[in-house]
Amino acid sequence: MGLHPLEFSECYLDSPGFREKIKAHEAELDKTNRFIKELYKDGKNLINATKQLVLAQRKFAQSLGEFQFEYIGDAKTDDERCIDESLQEFSNFLKNLEDQRELMMRNITETLMKPLEKFRKEQLGSAKAERKKYEKETEKYYSSLEKHLNMSAKKKEPQLQEADSQVEAIRQHFQEESLDYVCKLQEIQERKKFDCVEPMLAFFQTVFTFYHQGFELANDFNHYKKALQINIQNTRTRFEGTRVEVFELMKRIREVPQEYRQTSPISSEGYLYVQEKRPPPFGSSWVKRYCTFVKEQKILHMVTFDHRSGGKMGETESVTLKSCVRKTTDMLDRRFCLDIEITDRPGTVLTVQSLSEDDHKFWIHAMGGKEPAGQYLGKTYSKERGIDAQLDDVGLSFVKNAINAIETRGINDQGLYRVVGVSSKVQKLLSLMIDAKSNDVDLSTCEDWDVKTITSTLKLYLRSLPEPLMTYGLYKDFIAPAKGGSPESRSQAIHCLVHKLPEKNCLVLGLLMKHLATVAAHSKLNLMTVANLGVVFGPTLMRPQEDTVAAIMDLKFQNIVVEILIEQHEKIFGDVPDTSSPGLSAPTRQSKKLSVRQNRPLAVYNPQTVDLQTVSPSSPDVGSNSDEASLGSNESVSSQSSGATASGTPPEKANHAPLLASLSTGDSPGACIAVAASWLNSGALTKASSDGDKTVDGVTGGGGKKAMAVYPCEAEHESELSFQVGAIFSAVAPSKEPGWLEGELEGKKGLIPENYVEML
């Protein structure tokens, strides 16, 4: 068993056992506090590590985007152009991915880190403060009590009375603090179930959204990738062919290098060492220069270049050649020298030295000789009191009258049964309707009473009955199947129990469930889903005879019972139950549709209408002015706290696809959490209305609708259809199975996962 409920009555006894229970609750909250602190620390580390990853990825993307391939030649092929642009495409892809990752990190901070830290500081912190206050009051009370008991009985009566009064005041204050502390402990124990888990749900939604965005980016990139692969293959093929040619040329040049000495009819070029004469006594020096001789103008361009200095290029000097004469070794003790007479400076002779004998001959020929030269062959690349409400004919008449009026006048009103009427008006109408002398008012045509007053009066009548409509005696029996078993066994057990109710109770319950099913069928407009109606009517129709904290903990199971009654009202109230079937036995797996429906979705989670569609423990029913009573206070139990549900979720296929794309990049933290909860609610279908129409996410029943598949699907049951992306379905209509549609594909009819298609 988990933590024991802390009964308020025990606050006055303050037994050792009670104190042990409190210690257990405190220890659990301490454990939760440590868990959140550690999780917060790990989350910070995760965020910081991810930020570093983002920075590294962005730097990598920047490097890719800044680099550009240079090509050989004076133009690029189409393949080379695409390859050249590919790095920028890769860079943009990584930047888009990191944009999504940064968005994920911001959403994680807003939807996980901040809510958890807020819960720890505000809720667990307030519990810690209350704990210190409680311990202080305990010490004060018991110290005062001991001091009081040690007081001499011989003291005067007024002194004794005054001491008694002081101790009594301290005792009362201590007990009040005890009540507040016990209430706070249990409140936080219950709050943590959703205040801690909901942010984590939003966290995973955010993570899945990020991965889905990556998947979408990859899909967008796929076409470009295929084209680039072709470009790369073409370029590789060309490279291999060119590579062979290059090696062949290299081989030939190795064999006869002089035949491939680069030359042209216009100019000749190569390295020459030029003698630079200095004034005595410094002598002269030889400087290596790269020379280009233009034959027609007889101009020799010389630029200083030293390979050993990192290839630094010096200034260029140009001279006009007049004549060139071989310099013999007897005149200069160096080989391969030439004396060049220049016209720019008459009488000046420039002495240069070639690199070898062959190079010497080359320059003599280039500057006027007749020696042959080869050709270069290279290539390029919420209870009520004081009202005598009875389940009699008058009461039955009122129920019918109210239902008729609500369905006639306000079936589409937003927040039907959630928005309450003014207390004084509700009390007045109920007194009028249960008075046999004045209950002949037709509420469907009487404009004196608005719809919210009628709905509040109907709920007040049901709560004011001497015994709940579903009786005290059967309360535990109704609750039991909701706490376990399969959807089928729950339905069977409740079906049998309903027929054990007194005849009039069963009649009124049947009328009410049929009506609530009609309300739920209009949930697209009134926002009251089956789950929301379960929250409102669970405590109204059934409650235990004793008012204890433990009983309050069963509210969520009451809601489940009412949900089952609404969803299956036709079978439960229309057919006699099969008593031969055990109520809680496990069902056989007849089909996939039954075996996969384990948990029914909760209330529709819409951030724009959250006050009408979800019920908060801290929020009273919505009213119209300050005279409103808290008529529905026991309705204010959050639908989110429901640990088990009525009949099961839609098939998984109705849950996967759209959840990953449902979180828009600009959503606020609250909206992010709402979207995450909507994931759990996806696939919920409204029930059939009285005229037979059905609505599925805005699709009205009809025979001519078409839909297109946006995700591929492989059938897991013979009643389902298999299809690929882009398949077109005809005769698409809502199915009785939540989360599915019925349609036809290539002449075959079957079930289609609702979230796998888009309506055309």
SS3 category, 59? helix
Q: Under a CB-based contact definition with an 8 Å cutoff, are residues 760 and 708 in contact?
A: yes
pLDDT by residue (tens digit) across 67-91? 888 877 666 767 777 888 888 889 9
192 & 337 share domain: no
pLDDT band at residue 375 under the 50/70/90 scheme: very low
Q: Under a CB-based contact definition with an 8 Å cutoff, are residues 631 and 621 in contact?
A: yes
Is cis: bond before 281, omega within 30 of 0? yes
437 & 480 share domain: yes
Q: What total of structural domains would you count in the chain?
A: 4
Instruction: Tell me which H or E stretch contains 352.
Output: strand 349-353
Instruction: Tell me which H or E stretch contains 324.
Output: strand 312-327
End-to-end alpha-carbon separation of the chain, Å? 53
Nearest CA to 385 out of 466, 444, 309 is that of 466
pLDDT by residue (tens digit) across 595-648? 333 333 333 323 333 333 333 333 334 444 434 433 333 433 333 333 333 333
pLDDT by residue (tens digit) across 436-492? 666 678 888 888 889 999 999 999 999 899 999 999 999 989 988 888 778 888 899
Q: Under a CB-based contact definition with an 8 Å cutoff, are residues 709 and 725 in contact?
A: yes
User: Domain range spanning residue 47?
Assistant: 8-207
CA dihedral 295, 299, 301, 302 (to 10 degrees): 100
What one-letter code names the amino acid at 101? Answer: R
Instruction: Quickly count helices (H) and strands (E) in the chain.
Output: 23, 13
pLDDT higher than threshold 90 for residue 711: no
pLDDT at residue 698, as a whole number:
37
**Domain annotation covers residue 373:** no
Which pair of tokens denotes residue 472?
A: 């005290």
∠ Cα 649 652 657 (to 5°): 120
What one-letter code names the amino acid at 540? Answer: T
355 & 406 share domain: no
Q: Under a CB-based contact definition with an 8 Å cutoff, are residues 407 and 515 in contact?
A: yes
pLDDT higher than threshold 80 for residue 42: yes
Which pair of tokens denotes residue 234?
A: 């073409």
Q: Which of 162, 178, 207 is the last residue of a domain?
A: 207
pLDDT at residue 465, as a whole number:
92
CATH number, domain at 48? 1.20.1270.60
CATH number, domain at 715? 2.30.30.40
**Which residue reads 């409920």 in tokens?**
5
**Domain annotation covers residue 636:** no
Q: Under a CB-based contact definition with an 8 Å cutoff, are residues 465 and 544 in contact?
A: no
- Lowest mean pLDDT, pick from 140-154, 163-177, 252-266, 277-291: 252-266
**Domain annotation covers residue 621:** no
**Domain annotation covers residue 35:** yes
Q: 337 pairs with which residues across the strands? A: 327, 353
pLDDT higher than threshold 70 for residue 742: yes
SS3 category, 401? helix
Contacts of 168 (CB under 8 A, 6+ apart): none
Q: Under a CB-based contact definition with an 8 Å cutoff, are residues 661 and 624 in contact?
A: no
Which pair of tokens denotes residue 687?
A: 């029930």
Helix (H), strand (E), coil (C) string for 232-293: HHHHHHHHHHHHHHHHHHHHHHHHCHHHHCCCCCCEEEEEEEEEEECCCCCCEEEEEEEEEE
284 & 423 share domain: no
Over residues 530-548, mean pLDDT:
85
What one-letter code names the amino acid at 440? Answer: D
Q: Under a CB-based contact definition with an 8 Å cutoff, are residues 455 and 375 in contact?
A: no
**Domain annotation covers residue 72:** yes
**Domain annotation covers residue 548:** yes
Nearest CA to 460 out of 668, 224, 621, 568 is that of 621
- Lowest mean pLDDT, pick from 41-55, 299-313, 316-330, 468-482: 299-313
499 & 433 share domain: yes
433 & 507 share domain: yes
Nearest CA to 70 out of 84, 82, 53, 87 is that of 84
44 & 92 share domain: yes
Burial of 651 (0-12, 13-18, 19+ CB in 10 A): buried
**Domain annotation covers residue 89:** yes
Better-predicted residue by pLDDT, 110 or 386: 110
Question: What does the mean pLDDT of the chain come to?
Answer: 77
